[in-house]
Structure 1
Amino acid sequence: MPKVQETVLEINLSALTHNYHYLKSKLQPETKFLAVVKAFAYGSDSVAIAKHLETLGVDYFAVAYTQEGVVLRDAGIRTPILVLHPQSLNADTLIDRCLEPSIYSARLLKDFIATAEKRGQTNYPVHIKFNTGLNRLGFGEQDIAGITEQLSATKAVQAKSIFSHLAASEDLTENDFTALQINRFKTFAETFKRLSGTTPWMHLCNTSGIINYSEAHFNMVRSGIGLYGFGNCDEEDANLQPIASLKSVISQIHEVEKGHSVGYNRAFTTSRKECIATIPIGHADGLSRIYGQKKGFVYINDQKAFIVGNVCMDMIMVNVTDINCQEGDEVIVFDAKYKANTLAESAATISYEILTALSQRIKRIIVGE
């Protein structure tokens, strides 16, 4: 790849293909694959990612909010889309755009059925979300009889699937709790099927669930972070390829005399004559202020350069005193070699956060296939 001349996010579709096929290799041939493309496909480009995954034969997509699904439909995506956290006011839009809601509360079930009936729908697909221990969204076991009664009383909607979400599938020290969730989900599913007289799909596993709990793959699995190149542990990270490379450029280099300060609030003071490089990326681009004061770093000519002072809105300053570099040189924030989770760990956070925080003002460049 040619050296960049501005801040860009390169999105590698060849790496996406690799990750998709690797995760698919963990499944039985009949198990369906749902790709999670919420939050701009984990900070990348939801349309480009969804279009490529369609060519690979993905079975379903999932987004968090209704508008994210609208964006995909406007871009020509025709694969079924599950909306994980819709609100009652979204019901008409969901139907207009053929988006399938997760139904996680009695209020939402009542409101969506009313809209679907008013709109003359027949067997509109919905997905019933159960809470098996994450305690975030979803129905409990005590709600099953009421849910099935409401579904049986209408022809407007039908349960396409029932699903839940694992709380700690990446942490094998929590194996007992995950096993409890799996068994609880099986119990909920059997009760739902018995009372409803239907056999909806079942899905429970996220990326780490795919890798660690093959007995819980059921009819479909859902993968988010794994598609983007992270397996939540070093062993699985080695089997995946990060699709995103965040790159920038040195705008200017200053020689700052000993005892002089750098940046807002004079947060860094030189201990000797030092070379400070300014780079056009800041907290408005998603590089949080927490990475200031030498917690964060970038790579210039394969050497680590620590951020000095506070992260500014549109730029950072890094110490390049002992690095052979010049203005215009490429800067790597993270890529397939210098991974985002390493940078995230320096600030006691996770790759998900740094990826999904990336501003949409950063230019996206599609590379690979």
Structure 2
Amino acid sequence: MAASSGARVRAAVVGTGLIGGSVLLRLHRAGLDVTGWDPDPATRLAARGSGVTCPDELTEAVVGRNVVFLCGPLPTLPQTLPTVAAATGEECILTDVGSTKSGLAALAAAHGLTHRFVPGHPMAGTDRAGIGAAEPDLFAGAAWVLCPSAGPGLASFRRLAALILEVFRARVVPMAADGHDAVVALSSHVPHLLAGALAGAAGRSTLRDAVLALAAGSFRDGSRVAGAPAERTANMLLDNREYVLRELAGVRSFLDELAGALADADAGALTAACREARTARSALLGRTFTEFRRTFPTVPGDRPGAVAGAPAAGGPGGPAGSPDELGFLLALGSAGGHLGGCRVSGTTVEYTAHKPAG
């Protein structure tokens, strides 16, 4: 399969658990030339059983590739990134799927990889783990955060964004690395703490068996992510500790309001707080978007980038971008918008963007 530019994609996926396995299977189903690798021999064997090439050596899996997805556990990424970078050429784009972005983005900058490393985070998953739980369509319609950087890094961002939009059918959300970490603290990480608290309290209760017997949808939905692997959850929370603790304080404050109104038998205050929460929940479910297009010039004299082409003066696979382009992307993501298209033609790049209506 080729992207709109016509260049063929040669991909690799390093770490093939739930997320990495889903990335691997989707790329394979789309007909791309893709290899996988995992440190676990049984996982490599399972990947081969799906018809995917999965060498025993990491370097063999990534050599000659022009896009590599780093999908191992968060603590392994600081070592994996420079290792894979050393084994791949300057034309190879590197990205990850970790749930925090600031630390790895800083590491990439320290290693001189900003021009070809694009931090990423697909906002999808289940409470299961391992390649046996992988789903090729896991990312369809999901938000997939990509963190663009200034200058040559924008060319890599465009190539990767085009690939994700075309192959995974996800919604690309451009965000700054630190902005991402601040947002996911409340949208993703604190919910893991709340789910763990609910499930843990039920487990410690003297009424445990009766509670579980009557647990309805609200309990199952509220505790779902507590079923995720404990080590994975702990790594995620610790890696974003500062932002998680800050947002957790806000949740505690609102919970204290609810508890105080209940303790005081204040029906008015309790109803008002519940109504406020209901309004916020309704806004989540009822969001609508307005589509528009923005076009930016690329650096004069450089050829347009491809999803997986050869290097150019502006970075791997294409020309650098302007500060206006970067500003547009970051503003779109921080406003709750996303990209639905990214096309480089001649000396311009055109984005199809969606922003919340109203």
What is the TM-score when the length of structure 2 is the normalising length? 0.30
**As a proportion of its length, which structure holds more helix?**
2
